[in-house]
């Protein structure tokens, strides 16, 4: 019996060793990462040694969109197409998301703020209205707290701003040694199904055809190993990053509009309301019957808020200079 047990343990250790080796090998591949998304052909710009996919469309006052985690330019496409008739609209894939690379990425809000600042300089974006959703809104709050962008105004859409409760799963996937390999394994096995299930609930307010189109698009983009790994690493650093930057919110002197939903179980309403209370001059907008993706659920309302923001800006300039 002892010999049999010893043999079983030996076989088990051999399989474990092979599994670990396979995970390490998978982590060194680009298996599962995309080089194209849909029919969109968008340019890339090199920033900090990374290839960053972006889109810039229209003329006029500048609007800059920053997506969440996970996320990509596709989260803003409908808004870009609509707003570009009156404004110059820019969006980009953050490090490790969409089609952008992440070879030298530390997965922090600070890294994303630096990327945004450099993108603004490279694309000659002036006095922008910076609109961030979720993690992108946290990046926007980082920029505002550090007064990083001259004459910028901000719209923060349903973002964690003070704390973030990361899932245990992300701690496992964010492992420096095994994380990239686990991400490839997840991409090839259960990731698409998990993304589908979570997005069905998020997009429950939309009609079935629109919901299915959005879900299928995100299953393709978000299930890339690099996106899974980037999401996990960002999640692992998120709470610590927020605690650091939230101490600086008192320094914000830019115009801030905060948009969230009334249902705190589906949105980051409590975080958003807390920022509004800390920034007495901020505008706080609560929308009913919406989940986390407010820019998709409440497209018309978001367009209205953006247009009103520029109308107020123009009226102020007319008053001040005439």
Main-chain phi, psi angles of 154, to 5 degrees: -135, 140
Main-chain phi, psi angles of 238, to 5 degrees: -60, -55
Correct CATH for 31-321 of 3.40.50.880, 3.10.20.600, 3.40.50.1820, 3.60.70.12: 3.40.50.1820
The pLDDT of residue 25: 66
The pLDDT of residue 175: 92
Residues 288/137, Cβ–Cβ less than 8 Å = no
Calculate ∠ Cα 230-147-43, nearest 5°: 45
Residues 100/92, Cβ–Cβ less than 8 Å = yes
The pLDDT of residue 39: 76
Does an H or E element contain 283, and which?
strand 283-287
**Number of CB atoms found within 10 A of residue 47's CB:** 20
14 class by beta-carbon count within 10 Å (0-12 exposed, 13-18 middle, 19+ buried)? exposed
- Profile the chain (322 residues) by mean pLDDT over runs of 10 residues: 62 58 64 85 94 98 98 98 98 98 95 98 98 98 97 98 94 91 93 96 93 97 97 97 96 96 96 97 96 97 96 50 42
Contacts of 311 (CB under 8 A, 6+ apart): none
Residue in this structure with the two tokens 């922008």, named with its chain if needed = 128
């Amino acid at each position: 019996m002892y010999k049999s047990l010893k043999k079983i343990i030996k076989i088990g250790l051999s399989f474990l060793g092979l599994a670990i080796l396979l995970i390490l090998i998978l982590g060194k591949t680009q298996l599962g990462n995309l080089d194209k998304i849909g029919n969109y052909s968008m340019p890339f710009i090199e920033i900090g040694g990374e290839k960053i996919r972006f889109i810039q469309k229209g003329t006029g006052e500048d609007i800059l969109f920053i997506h969440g985690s996970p996320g990509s330019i596709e989260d803003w496409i409908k808004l870009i197409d609509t707003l570009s008739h009156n404004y110059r609209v820019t969006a980009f894939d953050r490090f490790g998301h969409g089609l952008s690379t992440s070879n030298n990425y530390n997965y922090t809000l600070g890294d994303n703020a630096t990327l945004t600042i450099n993108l603004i300089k490279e694309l000659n974006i002036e006095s922008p209205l910076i609109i961030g959703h979720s993690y992108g809104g946290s990046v926007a709050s980082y920029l505002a707290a550090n007064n990083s962008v001259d004459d910028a105004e901000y719209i923060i859409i349903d973002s964690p701003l003070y704390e973030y409760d990361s899932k245990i799963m992300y701690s496992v996937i964010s492992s420096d040694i095994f994380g990239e390999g686990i991400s490839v394994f997840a991409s090839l096995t259960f990731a698409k199904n998990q993304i589908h299930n979570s997005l069905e609930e998020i997009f429950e307010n939309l009609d079935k055809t629109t919901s299915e189109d959005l879900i299928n698009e995100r299953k393709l983009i978000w299930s890339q190993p690099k996106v899974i790994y980037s999401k996990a690493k960002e999640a692992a650093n998120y709470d610590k990053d927020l605690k650091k930057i939230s101490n600086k919110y008192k320094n914000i002197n830019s115009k801030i509009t905060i948009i969230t939903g009334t249902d705190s179980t589906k949105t980051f309403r409590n975080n958003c309301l807390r920022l509004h209370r800390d920034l007495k001059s901020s505008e706080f907008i609560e929308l009913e019957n919406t989940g986390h993706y407010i820019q998709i659920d409440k497209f018309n309302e978001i367009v209205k808020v953006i247009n009103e923001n520029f109308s107020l800006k123009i009226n102020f300039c007319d008053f001040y200079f005439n």
